Amino acid sequence: GLPVASIKELSEKHPKPSDIKFTYGTAGFRTLASVLDSVLFRVGILAGLRSKKLDGKTIGVMVTASHNPEQDNGVKLVDPRGEMLESSWESHATTLSNASSTDEFISALEAFVRDAKIDLSKPARVVYAMDTRPSGPALVSALEDGLRAIGADGRNAGVTTTPILHYLVRAINTKGTAEAYGDDSEDGYYTKLTNAFKKLVSAKPTPSPLLIDCANGVGANAAKKLAEYLGDTFSLVLENTSITAPGALNNACGADFVKTTQKLPSSLSNIIKPGQRGCSLDGDADRLMYFHLDDRGQFRMLDGDKIAALVAAFIVELVKAAGLDESIKVGVVQTAYANGASTKYLAERLPVKCVSTGVKHLHHAAEHYDVGVYFEANGHGTVLFSPDTLAKLADYQPSTPAQSTAVEHLVNLTQLINQTVGDALSDMLLVEVVLAHKAYGGLEWDSLYVDLPNRLVKVVVADRHIFKTVDAERRLTSPVGLQDKIDSLVGKYEGGRSFVRPSGTEDVVRVYAEAVVKSQADELAFRVAGLVY
């Protein structure tokens, strides 16, 4: 049975605040750090149980609140192949986190162990990490109490990025197998990525230095190490690296700031030069936004949709050049937030699917292609190569030197890309590879298509749960009648598109609108918001 005495004793040190209802949402648990202590303790136990359920495979736990303000924190679980926690366990996490007392928590655990048929005699292994938030160490120690309570073997991966933690989970669980993902260390991660990068650009001119806005977060540490491994193959200029300055994290900088304000962080305005390209990471380095200053010094944002367009078109070309276009099908997955112009550009070249917001939806849809490219407009995304495709690439006998080079590039891409989850640093190297191969600067990349003007607004409502959507969140079924009103408004705007959905991470409803003219996109967004309010 459960080690009830040890759980009881440690649980008393981590009481649940009485007035709070926690939810394991699309980004795990995420809220003010000051109320999360009991959640971390209980997540430690849950991670141990998840490992036992999966026969002792290593489970990951990441303590981060990503792009949120510094006073927030959060926690999410990572399944053995480095992917997000299986969704059926999300509700168990929610239930356990809300048990009001130690006794209630233990009863809930007992019921869960019984219903989920967890064999408690199995070993439990968990690897965990945190970002640079000041609240991290105390929350990690609550997590460690949870691991201790359930008798799990914990490995502390320290302060690192979310994608590195995902990499470690997969590397640990595939160690010594035919699918070995890489050495299960940070060194293994940097070596894998940079070796692949060096091979991919070896015949190309050295790219011009890239400016990186590290959001004053953990990405600063990681980008610094990456730069060391890259040596003189590619130079990175790191900015916003103040990881210990109070309040600096994600403040007026970082990928989310760039995407939501569509502006250059002012901390970079005296640094970036006309013609130069740069990029912003978010607080846990799993999102990436590019930008460049055109020759007139005008800021141009290159978001996740532009990355998807660049990368997907490149992979399609390589597959064709390799002579594999009959047997390897490349597809793209987007959400409703993808700019309509990107969808049009992509759909002219390859299959495109639209799914609900949330990485797990994109990831799962991308798994249905031989090569699945997925990116959210906000810069979170990656490319997945199916096991069959990996085998095809490994076994393929090219019949010309050109085919042979293209296959080699594809194989190196499978090493360069962190296929477990969106990874700002891996994605950045990927973008740089494509730019080098196409001999593109920011301007040429930006010109692939012209973004439709758009506007995203948040609306605070009494109860966002009354908003129900269908069709990958593009249409509302509830409140009844609202969709018809939205449709008739949208019809009045040239190139108009708008949709409304409840956020999965904040207590708001989001309204998105697009139109051919910026002022019209703004007006449409605000008029639809007026209907929602």
Q: What is the CA radius of gyration of the chain?
A: 23
Contact yes or no for 386/370 (Cβ under 8 A): yes
Contact yes or no for 134/28 (Cβ under 8 A): no
Tokens of 21: 């209802």
- Judged by CB under 5 A, the chain residues 64 through 123 that form the site for Zn ion are 66
349 labeled part of a ligand binding site: no
- DSSP 3-state assignment of 122? coil
Of the candidates 379, 347, 386, 418, the residue with the CA atom closest to the CA atom of residue 170: 418
66 labeled part of a ligand binding site: yes
Q: Which residues contact 233 (CB under 8 A, 6 or more apart)?
A: 194, 197, 198, 201, 206
Give yes or no for residue 286 binding Zn ion (CB under 5 A): yes
38 labeled part of a ligand binding site: no
Give yes or no for residue 457 binding ligand NG1 (CB under 6 A): no
- Side chain identity, residue 342: S
Beta strands 153-159 and 210-213 are unpaired
Contact yes or no for 429/287 (Cβ under 8 A): no
Give yes or no for residue 213 binding Zn ion (CB under 5 A): no
Q: Which does 286 bind (CB under 5 to 8 A by kind): ligand NG1, Zn ion, none?
A: Zn ion
493-496 contacts at long range (C-beta below 8 A, 24 or more positions apart): 493/520, 493/521, 493/523, 493/524, 494/520, 495/340, 495/452, 496/520, 496/524
> Residue 268 has what DSSP assignment?
G
Q: Which does 58 bind (CB under 5 to 8 A by kind): ligand NG1, Zn ion, none?
A: none
Contact yes or no for 372/366 (Cβ under 8 A): yes
Q: Work out the angle at residue 91's Cα, subtended by the Cα atoms of residues 34 and 363, and round it to the nearest 5 degrees.
A: 95
- Judged by CB under 6 A, the chain residues 464 through 503 that form the site for ligand NG1 are 503
The 26-55 site mask, x for binding ligand NG1 (CB under 6 A), equals xx----------------------------
114 labeled part of a ligand binding site: no
Of the candidates 253, 69, 251, 63, the residue with the CA atom closest to the CA atom of residue 162: 63
Backbone torsions φ then ψ of 72, nearest 5 degrees: -85, 160
In the list 188, 275, 441, 504, the residue contacting ligand NG1 (rule: CB under 6 A) is 504
Task: Please indicate whether residue 38 is annotated as part of the active site.
Answer: no
Is the Cβ of residue 56 or residue 504 nearer to ligand NG1 in the bound state?
504
- Judged by CB under 6 A, the chain residues 265 through 294 that form the site for ligand NG1 are none
Is the Cβ of residue 10 or residue 65 nearer to ligand NG1 in the bound state?
65
Backbone torsions φ then ψ of 331, nearest 5 degrees: -135, 165
Marked catalytic residue, from 11, 66, 356, 498: 66
Least Å from the CB of residue 314 to Zn ion = 25
Is the Cβ of residue 316 or residue 532 nearer to ligand NG1 in the bound state?
532
The 356-395 site mask, x for binding ligand NG1 (CB under 6 A), equals -x------------------x-x-x---------------
Q: Which does 27 bind (CB under 5 to 8 A by kind): Zn ion, ligand NG1, none?
A: ligand NG1
Least Å from the CB of residue 277 to ligand NG1 = 23
In the list 37, 90, 284, 303, the residue contacting Zn ion (rule: CB under 5 A) is 284
Least Å from the CB of residue 139 to Zn ion = 17
313 labeled part of a ligand binding site: no
510 labeled part of a ligand binding site: yes
501 labeled part of a ligand binding site: yes
Can you point out the beta strands (E) in 294-441? 299-302, 330-335, 352-355, 371-375, 381-385
The 359-398 site mask, x for binding Zn ion (CB under 5 A), equals ----------------------------------------
Beta strands 277-281 and 288-293 are antiparallel
Residue stretches of the annotated binding site for Mg(2+): 66, 282, 284, 286
Residues lying near ligand NG1 in the complex (CB under 6 A) are found at 26-27, 337, 357, 376, 378, 380, 503-506, 510
Q: Which residues are catalytic?
A: 66
**Which residues belong to the annotated binding site for substrate?**
376-378, 501-505, 510
Can you say which residues are annotated as belonging to the binding site? 66, 282, 284, 286, 376-378, 501-505, 510
**Interface with Zn ion by CB under 5 A: which residues?**
66, 282, 284, 286-287
